[in-house]
Amino acid sequence: MDVRAQVSMVFHLDKCIGCHTCSIACKNLWTDRRGAEYMWWNNVETKPGTGYPTLYEDQEKYRGGWEAGAGRPRLKLGGRLAELARIFHNPRLPALDDYYEPWTYRYDQLIGAPPSDDQPVATPVSLVTGEDMKIEAGPNWDDDLGGSSIYAAADPNVEALTDSERGQLLAFERLVFFYLPRICNHCLNPGCLAACPAGAIYKRGEDGIVLVSQHKCRGWRMCISGCPYKKTYFNWANGKAEKCILCYPRQETQQVPACMHSCVGRIRYLGVLLYDAERLAATAALPDAELVEAQRALILDPFDPEIAAAAREAGMPEAILEAARRSPVFQFVKRFRLALPHHPEFRTLPMLFYVPPLLPVMATVSDGHYEVTPELLSSLDASRLPLRYLAAMFTAGEVAPIVEVYRKLVAARLYQRATTVGDVPRESATHALEEAGLSAQDAEEIYRLTALASFEERFVVPPFFREGAIESVEDVHEHQEEEGAGFLRPPRRGW
């Protein structure tokens, strides 16, 4: 056993508003620089939809991620030789148009407008070329089903559906949508890392954060191809790849990543997961149907004394172990099995997990009048969204794990309804819990975690022992003394 710690995340999609506050928190802090304007390390997509960059989930198009191999996975992009051959021309790379051409406006045409015969207006202009432009795409173009017959219809996840199910998703009375916020998954088996010819990408040992060294990056962009989520980006101004850094400068100072801090829907959770690195390669090579369960198995129980002992043996500080025990992510992913990885079939073993959304019940139209399915609450049977759609997104097509999650979500609500109102008979709530494999206490805890958890409970940032890291480079006391005197141009001795 090789016990390691990873800062991991759960996004509870049922609670997501699609507000994009997270996206802007991230952009403000990290990517409003020249060359990075088009980057949204954190973005939010409407599903069904094609996402950003467009159709990124379609690996027929982009060849990102991994394929099952014998005992260990293979990069879909091909081996190192094939990769080298594409260094100077990579047809699998998204072009700027697959993202969007960033723009601004000629705002100076307002205050600075000369006298004329009509009201002045600020017109759009490209941030790349400086020329006038027509705005035809953006990082959130199909928001809230905008252009649904083009974008929602082209969502790769609808391929798994029947024609009538696909039609339903585009019919006014039966349609539905939800939001999918995305950041780098900080995978256990990152495609970007494996694809980098320069060895510039690494996983930080203490927290598993995947970074692109801005010193070592040579701008080959293979990481962009290798990542099936398209969460590494190319800074066109300085020629380096950049990606989500999980706000390590904030975490190292015990602050929560900006996108999570700012999540006003309170959908995000962050905490340490322990995993067994020894089994990584084998897990990533399993058949599709086994991936979700196998990834869960990879995650270790910090309450298990044997695992704690192995962790200590591997040199893991007690405080990390303690953080892992307080981790809300562990509760959602491992204990309650409610949170699922995004496209496990990409085999990068993403460490961001999603709780699927409860959605309105289906309706029918008769005599021109709209009647809902007479269910009290959102239900599995009357779901507006075909389960196979969710399976395509979260379980490599397996419906059973989706059903399991929904049984639990629905049962936990029925239990609360029975307890707090009583118009649902207690027996049916109990029955629902049993079917979902939950105890009443489980239901209470799921409720608490979902609805009541405070900032401090949602985000359990582990200690980072920065003094230890600095000590290996220089004396910490000296570092402390020098740090405040950081001159951009240090004064030089002389006269």
Q: Which is nearer to other proteins, 420 or 494 (CB)?
A: 420
Q: Is 486 helix (H, G, I), strand (E, B) or coil?
A: coil
d(CA 158, CA 149): 13
Beta carbons within 8 Å of 233's beta carbon, 6+ residues apart: 36, 38, 39, 41, 224, 241, 242, 243
Q: Rounded distance, CA 482 to CA 91, Å?
A: 48
464: CB partners within 8 A, 6+ apart: 206, 207, 251, 252, 254
- Smallest distance from the beta carbon of 88 to other proteins, in angstroms? 26
Residue 208 vs 401, nearer CB to other proteins: 208
Integer Rg of the chain from CA: 24
Tell me whether residue 175 or residue 289 sits nearer to other proteins (CB atom): 175
Determine contact, residues 424/417, Cβ cutoff 8 Å.
Answer: yes
Considering beta carbons, is residue 241 or 398 the nearer one to other proteins? 241
Residue 414 Cβ vs other proteins, minimum distance, rounded to whole Å? 8
| Cα 407 → chain centroid | 24
Q: Residue 271: CB partners within 8 Å, gap ≥ 6?
A: 7, 8, 323, 324, 326, 327, 328, 329, 330, 459, 460
Which CB atom, from 8 or from 398, has the smaller least distance to other proteins? 8
Report DSSP state, residue 132. B
In angstroms, how far apart are the furthest CA atoms of the chain? 94
**Nearer CB in complex with other proteins: 108/306:** 108
Instruction: Write down the least CB distance from residue 83 to other proteins, Å.
Output: 17
In the complex, minimum distance from the CB of residue 208 to other proteins, in angstroms, rounded to a whole number: 7
Residue 125 CB, nearest distance to other proteins (Å)?
11
Which CB, 285 or 398, lies closer to other proteins?
285
SS3 163: helix
Minimal distance, residue 495 CB to other proteins, in Å:
29
Of 216, 219, 282, 207, residue with least CA distance to 246:
207
**Amino acid (1-letter code) at residue 275:** Y
Minimum distance between the CB of residue 391 and other proteins, rounded to whole angstroms?
Answer: 19
Q: Which is nearer to other proteins, 210 or 392 (CB)?
A: 210
Give 196 or 398: the residue with its C-beta nearer to other proteins.
Answer: 196
Take residue 115 and report the two structure tokens written for it. 């006298």
State the nearest-atom distance from the C-beta of 115 to other proteins, in Å.
3
Determine the Cα–Cα distance for residues 473 and 453; give it in Å rounded to an integer.
39
Q: How many CB atoms lie within 10 A of CB 443?
A: 25
Give the nearest distance from C-beta 89 to other proteins in angstroms: 28
Distance between CA 313 and CA 148 in Å, rounded?
A: 54
In whole angstroms, give the CA distance from residue 261 to residue 353. 17
